[in-house]
Amino acid sequence: MAYLLTLLVLIGCMVLLDARYRLFVFHRPVPALLSLVLGTGIFVLWDVLAIAEGIFLHLESPWMTGIMVADQLPLEEIFFLFFLCYQTMILVNGWQLFRARTRPIQARESR
């Protein structure tokens, strides 16, 4: 259970960053949510294929809820994959915003 709660807190932190700086979902909600669903879906499909090939294997842990979405696919994995996609987009868009805001400063300093 602790792992799922940790993931939810981390997702909440990403939402706060996104809301504060309007980086992704709070900038363009419909395309952002579509890309999050699509990205998470692709990673879930990847996991399902890896599970079918015997590459991924779920091991019991006291930190997890024990809820399985499918054979060898715990609930926490879905939230982790969503977090991974959301975090990546926050980092990419945050970096772009940072660079856009520092370029005018760098241009003035080089004169």
**Domain presence at residue 19:** no
Q: Which domain holds residue 59?
A: 1-11+28-89
**Domain presence at residue 85:** yes
pLDDT classification of 105: cutoffs 50, 70, 90: low
Instruction: Give the Cα separation of 95 and 44 in Å (integer).
Output: 27
Count of structural domains, the chain: 1
> Which pLDDT value is given to residue 110?
64
Phi, psi of 87 (to 5 degrees): -60, -40
Across residues 72-76, what is the average pLDDT?
Answer: 96
**Domain presence at residue 96:** no
**Domain presence at residue 99:** no
- Per-residue pLDDT reduced to its tens digit, 30-63: 999 999 999 999 999 999 999 999 999 898 899 9
pTM for the full model? 0.88
